[in-house]
Structure 1
């Protein structure tokens, strides 16, 4: 049995699942037809069927020009990394995505994002990135006045790589660096920084030499960051894409568009049942913060100024125009901390008056009020090669060996252990796939 016959057998199955693996095809041929085929033959049959179903790279790129004539101006931007946002319920909200990572493409991409954001000049947008070289050089030219924070997780990974994995400093130095990054006051930062330099020595000093503290430390980041210290949203977006990343560029774009379309519709319909002022996750956070300070002693200093005692600590809260708490959590997260909520209760007003409107249900519904329209393919031209603006695929050379489909993990990354809630074991499965006898 050759690859052409295998192609004809699996063609319909591949339409349902374009990411079908060659090893699965090998086993299906064995079980359904009782015939032995080599893995190489099964793989070639899969590739032939895949090209027949999805088309080649030239066809895929030609289809993009037609698709962009229908797409939303913001959603039609493309790169393998993506600017993503958090909605009012702390969920993922993809803003734009792109396909290339050169400096010129990054600048063009950011200019397109800036053009769309300029329609909403009422607030400043904060960016958090992983210090991509193309992004770092393009960002100041497009967003010179917007705050730009560095991802704490990537900084920790870069710092931990400078120490041998067997060394005790491999774990202690990143921990001290975390203490510095999450310091809320300049004094606590200086204290933690002295400990970090004493522990890490010259390696830490060289690492921090060209790293502005305003970009990674909470104590010196004066703009709204809403408690976000990492760009994990980009990783979440990559996981959310799933197997789409292995599809041709047109199908990749269509997969992201349809997933975004479904998510927006799902969130829009789900929020109609909410009856609270804040989004559900933020409402829970408000209740938890209120419960923390129930037993604290509060003293009034002025009309809007309060002091309260918590064990051996004293904290000042100003409910005036600036909304200040001396712990700086209110400033860092944009959400009233436990100290502020105790003062608000003592002041006799509703805590919802002091919560940012971006956490409220009305803003959530406004975020998902727009829709991504379907794009029927019946209007697609039969011969896209005659387009006035033909788009050709890049000239690439396939490397020897099997292509890598998984991201290389840094040695500082620790794989999270999954505990089964049914049997209680840490064997990498959950309750859904648990087969242990109970």
Structure 2
């Protein structure tokens, strides 16, 4: 979604339109999504045409069928990618050691931090539940049967909640994995524990279990012992030679490629390779087997 937003901003250079695009992306229902697009259309009809060319199931929460837990970008992986990229240019042993050492520290820090938590849910999920409880105080609840409820709000209208299937008409419960305010109102009306209806991945117990294993320290490589195959004698060892792949590799270090949102203002020319007769590259960059 971040790449879509960046490309959209280059095309239209309007921060208000960019903000509306993000609001449309975060909209939980199709009705909310279309309402945001109408607001964009009032400002720029061309912007809506541009947005309509993007398959909404790939970027809009309202059209997403799975559980996204509120994430629309890959920012959650940025901390991991930053130090992996720093290590990727090292020789293989040093690279693996750098990654292992960072993971060892990472696991220990998170394990120790989780031991200080006294709530059932991790802090972010606990805050979300508490906010939902506060909002639910102003809702009116009507029960239809043991699982279905009508939750009425003066500002949001009526939403249908099914606590058995953990779903709400607003789709907040399904998409975030944590009961929405309507779901919380229904659960509290029948004296149910809200925390029991939260996805297990948000519990402190699951978090601690994730980081329970220890990545042990390793001594300097000068102290490593060479291992033989099934206890063979030193003189019976056979040196294994690994040959390079049978392909033509371009000189220099390979370029790092990053997939970005489609640039709709540019028409790409199809190129052909005179060596393998395939499209998408030239002879000088051909890596097909010789």
TM-score, normalised relative to structure 2: 0.70
1:270 matched to which residue of 2? 113
Cα separation, 2, equivalents of 1:267 and 1:202: 47
* SS of residue matched to 1:388: coil
2:2 matched to which residue of 1? 153
Q: Does 1:379 align with 2:228?
A: no
1:341 matched to which residue of 2? 184
2:74 matched to which residue of 1? 231
Cα separation, 2, equivalents of 1:278 and 1:358: 9
Cα separation, 2, equivalents of 1:193 and 1:203: 9
Alignment counterpart, residue 36 of structure 2, candidates 177, 189, 192 = 192
Alignment counterpart, residue 354 of structure 1, candidates 182, 191, 197 = 197
Report deviation, 1:329: 1.1
Q: RMSD in angstroms over aligned alpha carbons?
A: 2.9
Cα separation, 1, equivalents of 2:77 and 2:121: 25
Q: Does 1:183 align with 2:27?
A: yes
Q: Structure 2 matches for 1:12-411, cutoff 5 A?
A: 152-163=1-12, 165=13, 170-202=14-46, 204-209=48-53, 211-239=54-82, 244=87, 250-376=93-219, 377=221, 378-379=223-224, 388-389=241-242, 396-397=251-252
Could you tell me whether the CA contact under 8 Å between 2:136 and 2:182 is conserved in 1? yes
Which blocks of at least 5 consecutive residues in structure 2 are unaligned? 227-238, 254-290
Cα separation, 2, equivalents of 1:203 and 1:342: 39
1:82 matched to which residue of 2? none
Cα separation, 1, equivalents of 2:181 and 2:4: 30
Which blocks of at least 5 consecutive residues in structure 1 are unaligned? 1-151, 399-438
- CA distance 1:315–1:324, shift in 2 (3 Å): farther
Report deviation, 1:239: 4.1
Residues 58-90 of structure 1, C-alpha deviations (whole Å, 9 max, x = no match): xxxxxxxxxxxxxxxxxxxxxxxxxxxxxxxxx
Residues 271-321 of structure 1, C-alpha deviations (whole Å, 9 max, x = no match): 334343222332233223212222333222333222233223323242343
Residues 180-230 of structure 1, C-alpha deviations (whole Å, 9 max, x = no match): 212211122222223334533345424542x21111111110111111111
* SS of residue matched to 1:306: strand
- CA distance 1:265–1:198, shift in 2 (3 Å): same
Could you tell me whether the CA contact under 8 Å between 1:315 and 1:327 is conserved in 2? no
Cα separation, 2, equivalents of 1:362 and 1:235: 25
Could you tell me whether the CA contact under 8 Å between 1:184 and 1:327 is conserved in 2? yes
Report deviation, 1:325: 1.5
Could you tell me whether the CA contact under 8 Å between 2:163 and 2:183 is conserved in 1? no
Cα separation, 2, equivalents of 1:245 and 1:154: 24
Could you tell me whether the CA contact under 8 Å between 1:278 and 1:360 is conserved in 2? yes
Report deviation, 1:335: 0.6
Could you tell me whether the CA contact under 8 Å between 1:305 and 1:316 is conserved in 2? no
* SS of residue matched to 2:150: strand
Report deviation, 1:354: 0.7
Cα separation, 2, equivalents of 1:190 and 1:288: 27
